[in-house]
Amino acid sequence: MVVCILLAAGEGKRFGTKKQFVNLCGKRLLDFSIRTVEEIPDIDKIVIVLPKEDINLEITSKKEFIKIEGGSERQESVFNGLLAIKEAEIVVIHDSARPFATKDMFMEGIKNVKDGWDGSITAYKSVDTVKKVIDNQIMETLNRENIYIVQTPQTFKYEKLLKAHINAKEKDIKGTDDSYLMEVMGYKITVNQGSFLNFKITNPEDILLAQCICNRFSKEDG
């Protein structure tokens, strides 16, 4: 069984409001991810992680779904999601703050894990040069050929991700993504093709870019 955990329990501190519920081209940001995921035959069930106070939010989907409460950190929200789906073999984690993730990103990740990888994360090769800077001084220039910008969806073997989260809890390891918790376990993670357009809405100005993109997409759709 393949389950997708859609994360929507953040506070949106940098954005200024719970961005997962803001309106973008006539629907809530969260609904973009739901509409994409419900079209993927490989995904059997959706777990929508919401802030405690929004648990009664009205949600519709063509696919089977459940709503659960998130935690105070993203990592805790994922963990709550994992505890709610003991029947899963493969789990896909996606930030609802990324409205433009494509079906291909989900499908390629699921295929990689079915093919034997412990995990597959959506990422694309950096087009910019990345340098390490400490106290305003350049310390290192990283080889761009090996630098990837990491996004979600991220797909994993369920048992291993659960183990990685339990290990992180025990050792107080904090990761900004789930892949990191898997990496410290020595699990083998690969990449599936990401895109600049799959950016995460983080700051208020990001919604302007998102509006441009979705207006353009709706024109293309006729």
- Residue 200, CB half-sphere, CA atoms under 13 Å: how many? 19
Q: What residues numbered 52-81 form the site for ligand CTP, per CB under 6 A? A: 70-74, 77
Min dist. Cβ of residue 173 to ligand CTP (A): 17
Kindly state the smallest distance separating residue 140's Cβ from ligand CTP, in Å: 27
Select from 13, 52, 171, 219 the one that contacts ligand CTP (CB under 6 A). Answer: 13
Site string for ligand CTP, 174-213 (x = CB under 6 A): --------------------------x-x-----------
* C-alpha–C-alpha distance, residues 157 and 82, integer Å: 11
Distances (CA, A) of 169 to 7, 20, 76, 174: 19, 26, 9, 8
Q: Indicate which single residue of 3, 40, 48, 96 sits in contact with ligand CTP (rule: CB under 6 A).
A: 96
**Taking the chain, what is the end-to-end CA distance rounded to the nearest angstrom?**
35
**CA distance linking residue 197 with residue 98, whole number of Å:** 9
Point out which residues bind ligand CTP (CB under 6 A). Answer: 7-15, 20, 49, 70-74, 77, 95-97, 200, 202
